[in-house]
Amino acid sequence: MGFFQNFLPKEDRFAALMLYGMVFSTCFNGYDAGIMTVILADKQFISYYNVDATKSGVIATIPWASTGLAQLFVGGTLASMVGRLWALRISIAFMIIGVIVQVVPNTYAVLIVGRLITGLGFGCVYIATNLYVAECAPRSLRGSFVGTVSQFGYQLGTLIAFWSGYGMSYHHSPYNIAWRVSNVIQIPIGLTFIVLSFWYLESPRWLLEKYPETPERCLTALAKLRSGTVDDERVRMEFHELVSSHEYRKQFKTGYMGLFASAGMRKRLAYGFYATSLQQIGGIAALTMYAALIYQSLGWDKGHQALAINGIQAALQLVVVLVNTFTVDRFGRKSLLIAGFAIQSLALLILSSLTTSFPDNNNKAAAVVEIAMLFIVGLTYCWSNGPIAPAIASEIFPQEVRDKAFGLSLLGQTACLLALTQPWPKFNQEVGPKSYWLLFALNVAALISVVFILPETKGISLERMDKLFGEVDAVSAGEEQTSAEKIEALTYSGHEMDNKVMGTSAHHVESASSAKERGV
């Protein structure tokens, strides 16, 4: 598949253009996460809040406490109640409020409140974005769409944040202007997406789940997403799967109760929790959040060296995300994760060996290799466990519980992130250069687990994931029910009737016009 075809597939060009616009929502999230890397190294910020190693860990990770709340029930419930798009608009607006609270002159306690507000919005944005992309993307390219939107947007936000922070780091007057302006720059990104989103279609799968009495809304949205008409064969086939699955699964419990109602669903939830934990179990958040401080500790502390290195890495990571775009739907999720964890493990082995051998950073060649290894870890993450983890977790659940199940699954991501990121500054301070051995061990453990535990979801439609987890194929079971056939027949007959009415109206208008011209 060619370069252009991968990004803008002919039969899904409308969906591709629309979904790539979602990059603005993940970019907003990425900027918020990335800018704290720069701010935590700002001397005026450190002085203003009297930041030590413990406070640094709290400021960096406290948003994940409220993000966990969003994942537990707020994000999934919001996306279910108001739809994926309105959930995004509300969540981004909430994040903007959090940013404003952080940048106005305040105390340490108010800063933490602002970080908590931002964290809650962050979690809801992440949930709604991945759900929307997974539900709107074509089956054959779902992995690349979810990965590109979630990770590319995040890395783009991080890149803008690093270089914005780098530029502002030269401004020392007025006092505290640099970190405040750096933080507030993200607001236009969020507002841009809110405006853009009003030209978007709602997820056809959510429309069918929310309004089963009017399936034509789902069919119309699906046809437009697939750049076709309601009579196109592939639109009819996908709509058939949606209706058949919905008719079979409507007998099951929905919401949070439905997640624990069967062994198969509990198994999926365990896999979802495990899949999202793979994103953070290698310690990437700690390496990213404290990147500037880590580079300084490795001896790159002259002037703005650490921030510049950070910015260069962010630029490279943005490009490397595209490796995932071209490979994930070709080689599969599992293959890329195995390759990714193997490369990261090797890089961390070399890094740990060098930091242990040269704890005083007195060997310039070793310092250069150490930076190179950190680059390799960050770059590999961007095409492997970074984008693949949310792709898996967003596609393995049935529609009636997907929003809430995906949110709960993300607790695996949050648990690993908090467990490694919050104590990292103190741990690194006390253990010193040997601290990277922990990350090496965790990546090796993750590699082994992927080989023996993770199922492959490549090429399977969202409605046919059931068999993968030992359950009845919902589409096949739904096909045996006459209600599914009736719904499809009524939906299409309704569209045909509308077309006839439109055709008759057009005929009458044309006849009247002709009569007028004849002087009748």
Examine the pLDDT at 496 and tell me if it is beyond 70: no
Per-residue pLDDT at 515: 41
Task: Using pLDDT thresholds of 50, 70 and 90, give the confidence band for residue 135.
Answer: very high
Per-residue pLDDT at 306: 64
User: pLDDT tens across 154-205, in order?
Assistant: 888 888 888 887 788 777 788 888 889 988 998 998 999 999 999 999 999 9
174 cis-preceded (ω within 30 degrees of 0):
yes
Tally of residues, the chain: 520
Per-residue pLDDT at 370: 83
> What is the rounded CA–CA span in Å between residue 439 and residue 373?
13
User: pLDDT tens across 441-458, in order?
Assistant: 999 999 999 999 999 999
The angle subtended at Cα 489 by Cα 472 and Cα 224, nearest 5°, is 85
Task: Using pLDDT thresholds of 50, 70 and 90, give the confidence band for residue 60.
Answer: confident
Q: Which residue has the tokens 């074509």?
A: 138
Task: Using pLDDT thresholds of 50, 70 and 90, give the confidence band for residue 115.
Answer: very high
> What is the rounded CA–CA span in Å between residue 222 and residue 205?
9
In this structure, what are the phi and psi dihedrals at residue 43, rounded to the nearest 5 degrees?
-65, -35
Q: In a 3-state reduction of DSSP, which class is residue 389? A: helix
Helices (H) and strands (E) in the chain, counts: 30, 0
Distance of CA 235 to the CA centre of its chain: 26
**CA torsion sign, 277 to 449 to 267 to 140?**
positive
Task: Using pLDDT thresholds of 50, 70 and 90, give the confidence band for residue 42.
Answer: confident
Task: Using pLDDT thresholds of 50, 70 and 90, give the confidence band for residue 513.
Answer: very low
What is the phi-psi region of residue 283: left when phi exceeds 0, alpha when psi lies from -120 to 50, beta otherwise?
A: left
Tokens matching residue 46: 């450190």
What is the phi-psi region of residue 396: left when phi exceeds 0, alpha when psi lies from -120 to 50, beta otherwise?
A: alpha
Examine the pLDDT at 8 and tell me if it is beyond 80: no
Per-residue pLDDT at 271: 95
**CA torsion sign, 142 to 145 to 148 to 150?**
negative
Per-residue pLDDT at 295: 66
